[in-house]
Amino acid sequence: MSVNENIERTRRWFQEVWNEGRFETVHDLFSPDAVARGQRGGESEIRGPEEFVKFVREIRGASASPALSMEKSLRAGTTGINSECSSKSVCTSSPPSQHRYAA
């Protein structure tokens, strides 16, 4: 997959899953054998699309309108997720991370 395809897939994920609550997109993009780690802190794991949909429902249900957006392009070598929620105890803004991703 090209860098541009990765960028578009990531934008689609945040727009459709987090901002629009389109759970079918989780099934489209999250592999049945995928494992997400750390979303609930520490060593927690979320396995497969069904568990991830439950997690998204929890987060979206705790905030009236979470809004997530990519701060920097994956092409730039770093990404960050900016979030704005009505419930600050659940969702807070975070600075762009310094993690590097290779395509």
pLDDT digits (tens, 9 = 90+) for 76-101: 554 444 444 443 334 433 444 443 33
Beta bridge partners of 37: 45
Give the residue carrying structure tokens 């578009």: 8
Q: Are 62 and 90 a contacting pair, CB within 8 Å?
A: yes
Distance CA 18, CA 21 (A): 6
**How many angstroms separate the Cα of 39 from the Cα of each of 4, 51, 103?**
26, 12, 23
pLDDT tens-digit map of 23-45: 999 999 999 999 999 888 888 99
Q: How confident is the model at residue 71, as a pLDDT?
A: 57
pLDDT surpassing 90 at residue 17: yes
What does the alpha-carbon distance between residue 103 and residue 37 come to, in Å, rounded to a whole number? 20
How much is the pTM? Answer: 0.64
Work out the mean pLDDT of the chain and round it to a whole number. Answer: 73
- Residue 14's pLDDT is 87
Residue 2: what pLDDT? Answer: 82
**Ranges of H-type helices in 1-103:** 3-12, 23-29, 48-62
Share of the chain above pLDDT 90, in %: 35
